[in-house]
Amino acid sequence: MKLLLIEDELALSEALSSLLRAAGYAVDAVALLRHADAAIQVSRYDALLLDLYLPDGDGLSWLRRWRAAGHTEPVIILTARDQVSDRIAGLQGGADDYVVKPFDVQELQARLGAVLRRAQGAASSWLQVGALALDLQGHRVCVGTQQIELTAKEWAVLEKLATRPGQIVNKEALDQALYSFDDLVGSNTLEVYISRIRKKIGKERVQTIRGLGYRLVIEKTP
């Protein structure tokens, strides 16, 4: 799951980014609305976290324009405005939820999980691929009944593969899932994570398609 955080308070932005990354989300953080526009041009986000007072404009007007342009990604507003009228304006402006600063990160995570679940239109957050079951909200994976522990980066790669089970996912798309963690991604970084994932979920489940990418194999359940 990839998030765009639009927040100009640097300390908050950094703290929130690292907490969300630790929870397995890939996070791009920007401090200006025009940088948000640029990020949206090149990446697809599963949800946006939007501050309302930004140096280059008002988040709420930006959100109205963005919704009017047809964007449907869930948006949670993060703001110190705690007036009821502001909340109503936020929700009418196209926000899916509203969190008032200072907020509890666990509360934000719960709300984020809820809007993502609603956006996916699924009552359940589990994705079943053969014997693999992925908990898209909790970032857990089970092989059969055995729960497997994955690191945030391993999860990001596996999740990307699992969104298109049985189909080839190219290296660029998978690299992008890793890039969002901010580290330098070396030429063989992806291979390292693929190999770790294979060790954990079974070697045969992730197929290398030479020159093209990788595929999560849908095995027949017995």
**What is the binding site for Ca ion (CB under 5 A)?**
8, 51, 53
Report the C-alpha gap between 42 and 116 in whole angstroms. Answer: 21
Minimum gap (Å) between residue 59 Cβ and Ca ion: 8
Reading the block at residue 98, the tokens are: 């509203």
By beta carbon distance, the residue nearest Ca ion is: 53
Q: Would you say 46 and 5 are in contact if contact means Cβ atoms under 8 Å apart?
A: no
Instruction: Determine the 3-state secondary structure of 87 from DSSP.
Output: helix
Q: Which residue, 16 or 129, has its beta carbon nearer to Ca ion? A: 16
Minimum gap (Å) between residue 87 Cβ and Ca ion: 17
Q: Which residue, 5 or 197, has its beta carbon nearer to Ca ion? A: 5
Minimum gap (Å) between residue 16 Cβ and Ca ion: 13
Q: Which residue, 7 or 159, has its beta carbon nearer to Ca ion? A: 7
Report the C-alpha gap between 174 and 212 in whole angstroms. Answer: 11
Minimum gap (Å) between residue 124 Cβ and Ca ion: 36
Cis bond before residue 74 (omega within 30° of 0): no
Minimum gap (Å) between residue 33 Cβ and Ca ion: 11
Q: What angle do CA 86, 88, 94 make, to 5 degrees?
A: 105
**54 closest CA partner among 79, 71, 85, 76:** 79
Length reported for the chain: 222
Q: Which residue, 40 or 52, has its beta carbon nearer to Ca ion? A: 52
Q: Which residue, 17 or 137, has its beta carbon nearer to Ca ion? A: 17
One-letter amino acid for residue 220 of the chain? K
One-letter amino acid for residue 89 of the chain? A
